[in-house]
Amino acid sequence: MHEGNIQSSETEPVSSSLWRDAWIKLSKNRLALFGLFILLTLILVSLLTPIIAPYGYEEQNLALGATAPSSTHLLGTDIFGRDMLTRIMYGGRVSLMVGFVATSVALVIGITWGAIAGFFGGRLDAIMMRIVDALYALPFMIFIILLMVVFGRNIYLLFLAIGAVEWLTMARIVRSQVMSIRNQEFIEAAYSIGLSRWLIIKKHIIPNTIGPVIVYTTLTIPSVMLLEAFLSFLGLGIQPPQSSWGLLINYGVETMEEYPWLLIFPGIALSLTLFALNFLGDGLRDALDPRASKD
């Protein structure tokens, strides 16, 4: 325990300067900062939606019908006279929630799997990674559709199904990172001064894997949101009365000839979010993980 304290006081300044370096690099990347700004705004708006939304979520005005953007309805109304801004805000809540929750599922499975395989190595590693290889070969998109069809279009199932798809790459990244760190000299040094295995994992292995994990997480969220929107667009994802951007785009397509704004505004919301998250992810990769290849 005593050695652990010494160790932590020594690593502290090093790790904080890693983060400071990363922040300096990131803050020079305007697109990434823009992405961060959009993401934070979205999170804030989503949290506050029930308070700041200009109208009620299901508030209909059949007499009004579909109207173009105006001063009373900034983004217009749909065919039931529902305010589009309000609907996009509520849809964004669901889209973001799917993005974060499903990514968390993928994170937990992927990190655990990858860390165990990488740290223990040997036969266990070979078996675990062979399983990952085999799962990679499965066409998951088709499986998710199948699950949604068979077991009903349930949002929790959607979280699980998407999370179960996305963990594979995370497991590979964490494993290779853990393996490369495990064999480095400073780990040997840590063993030699008598640190326990647990402390080494906690103090050295995990902090050193966190950069690529953050980067990959930032890039997973948009791909999860895209997957959800894709399924909802086909009518196989989020179901009414809940709404998501994919579902709003689906409705928008049906009436796009007469009321194009019903397609364009949810489309902008989704694209802008994906754009922001991808730029942030790219920026974080440059800042935190300079060796990673840009693909």
State the number of binding residues for other proteins (CB under 8 A). 44
Q: Does 185 bind other proteins (CB under 8 A)?
A: no
Per rule CB under 8 A, is residue 52 in the interface with other proteins? no
| Site for other proteins contains 293 (CB under 8 A) | yes
User: Locate tokens 């740290």: which residue?
Assistant: 119
Q: Candidates 63-71, 74-82, 98-106, 268-276: pick the segment binding other proteins (CB under 8 A).
A: 268-276
Residue of 6, 127, 138, 189 interacting with other proteins (CB under 8 A): 138
**Cβ of residue 276: shortest distance to other proteins, in angstroms?**
9
Q: Side-chain half-sphere of 83: how many Cα atoms within 13 Å? A: 15
Residue recorded with tokens 């799917």: 98
Q: Segment contacting other proteins (CB under 8 A): 85-93, 100-108, 208-216, 272-280?
A: 272-280
Give the Cα separation of 97 and 237 in Å (integer).
Answer: 14
CB of 141 to other proteins, least distance (A): 4
| 53 vs 75, beta carbon nearer other proteins | 75
Distance CA(274)–CA(219), nearest Å, equals 9
SS (H, E, C) the chain: CHHHHHHHHHHHHHHHHHHHHHHHHHHHCHHHHHHHHHHHHHHHHHHHHHHHCCCCCCCCCCCCCCCCCCCCCCCCECCCCCEHHHHHHHHHHHHHHHHHHHHHHHHHHHHHHHHHHHHHCHHHHHHHHHHHHHHHCCCHHHHHHHHHHHHCCCHHHHHHHHHHHHHHHHHHHHHHHHHHHHCCHHHHHHHHCCCCHHHHHHHHHHHHHHHHHHHHHHHHHHHHHHHHHHHHHHCCCCCCCCCCHHHHHHHHHHCCCCCCHHHHHHHHHHHHHHHHHHHHHHHHHHHHCCCCCCC
State in angstroms the smallest separation of the CB of 231 from other proteins. Answer: 10
73-102 footprint of other proteins as x/- string (CB under 8 A): ------------------------------
Q: Binding of other proteins at residue 151 (CB under 8 A)?
A: yes
Residues 211-230 that bind other proteins (CB under 8 A): 222, 226, 229-230
| Contact range with other proteins by CB under 8 A, out of 10-18, 52-60, 115-123, 273-281 | 273-281
Minimum Å distance from CB 127 to other proteins?
A: 14
Question: At closest approach, how far in Å is the CB of 221 from other proteins?
Answer: 13
Closer CB to other proteins, residue 55 or residue 167? 167
- Per rule CB under 8 A, is residue 274 in the interface with other proteins? yes
When asked if residue 126 is in the footprint of other proteins (CB under 8 A), the reply is no
CA distance 220 to 194: 38
Contact residue for other proteins among 252, 261, 288, 289 (CB under 8 A): 252
CA-to-CA separations, 167 to 44, 69, 128, 148, 255, in angstroms, rounded: 27, 41, 13, 19, 37
Query: Which residue, 10 or 133, is less far from other proteins as judged by CB?
Result: 133
The answer to whether residue 235 forms part of the interface with other proteins (CB under 8 A) is yes
List of residues contacting other proteins (CB under 8 A)? 133-134, 137-139, 141-143, 145-152, 222, 226, 229-230, 233-236, 246, 249-250, 252-253, 256-257, 260, 263-264, 267, 270-271, 274-275, 278-279, 293-295
